[in-house]
Amino acid sequence: MLPHPNLRYAEPTVTGAITDGQLPTLAEAKVHLRVDFNDDDSYISGILAATQSYIEDYLGLKFGASIVNYAYWDYAYPLVHVHFNGAILTTATVPKIEVLQDDGSYADMSADDYEVDYIQSPIRVHMKGGFSTDELNRYRLRFDTANTTVPEFVKQAAFMIIGHYYENRQDVGKERIFEVPMNSKFLLDRYRKQVFT
């Protein structure tokens, strides 16, 4: 996912985890790898963590429940497009605009001063007139996402990546002097949001 040039993205604050078993567990990974001993448990656990991180970075999302903040440049007015990959939780968590205060905190902006269309991605934020542009990054869009379930094909891609990391501990092998391809990307591309700005 390519970043919007007028947006400054903050790492989501993860407030909840995905349901157990949505991504491969250590036991499932060992079955997939045909490993029936415990010597590599720590190494495989590291692979599991790296696999989730890789998938999240590749897909441009965080699994679990998250709070997401986007600060944007003032010259992005009057219409700001914010791309996201995730589901808005409920109408009770409608995306809102917050304004930077002198003490560094953020306060809710009056709902009369902006409109947000969040039914689809990208979220469209329409800022109404009358705002000062003296300070960049003064405003931010805040919303909640929930990716608490993982599609089966993403879990299958995770198994493939785990196997790739376990079997290919270097970028290249003795018989192969080229990079080992990853077929898992084909599966992940089904879920990935392609954004060009």
User: Which domain does 134 fall in, by range?
Assistant: 67-144
Say if residue 122 is in the same domain as residue 169.
no
Say if residue 109 is in the same domain as residue 171.
no
pLDDT given at position 189: 82
Domain boundary residue among 124, 144, 164? Answer: 144
Say if residue 95 is in the same domain as residue 139.
yes
Say if residue 134 is in the same domain as residue 153.
no
Q: Give the mean pLDDT of 50-72.
A: 81
In a domain, 124, yes or no: yes
In a domain, 6, yes or no: no
pLDDT given at position 158: 94
Claim: this prediction has a pTM higher than 0.85:
no
Say if residue 96 is in the same domain as residue 138.
yes
Higher pLDDT, 70 or 76: 70
Q: Tell me the helix, strand and coil percentages in the chain, rounded to 5.
A: 30, 25, 45
pLDDT at 58 over 70: yes
In a domain, 136, yes or no: yes
**Own/partner pairs for 21-28, CB < 8 Å, 24+ apart?**
22/63, 22/148, 22/149, 22/150, 22/155, 23/48, 23/51, 23/52, 23/63, 23/150, 23/155, 23/158, 24/48, 24/51, 24/155, 24/158, 24/159, 24/162, 28/159
What is the pLDDT of the chain when averaged over all its residues? Answer: 77
Say if residue 29 is in the same domain as residue 81.
no
Beta bridge partners of 81: 124
pLDDT given at position 168: 80
pLDDT given at position 186: 78
Domain count, the chain: 2
Round to whole Å and give the CA distance between 41 and 195: 38
CATH number for the domain that contains residue 167: 1.10.3230
Domain boundary residue among 144, 160, 175? Answer: 144
Beta bridge partners of 147: 64
Residues 6 or more apart whose Cβ sits within 8 Å of residue 22: 63, 148, 149, 150, 155
Q: Which amino acid appears at position 75 of this protein? A: Y
Domain boundary residue among 109, 124, 144? Answer: 144
In a domain, 85, yes or no: yes
Round to whole Å and give the CA distance between 22 and 14: 17
Say if residue 100 is in the same domain as residue 158.
no
Is 29 in contact with 77 (CB distance < 8 Å)? no
Sign of CA dihedral 188, 190, 193, 197: positive
**Assigned token pair, 14:** 């993860």
Say if residue 44 is in the same domain as residue 82.
no
Say if residue 93 is in the same domain as residue 113.
yes
Q: Which amino acid appears at position 14 of this protein? A: V
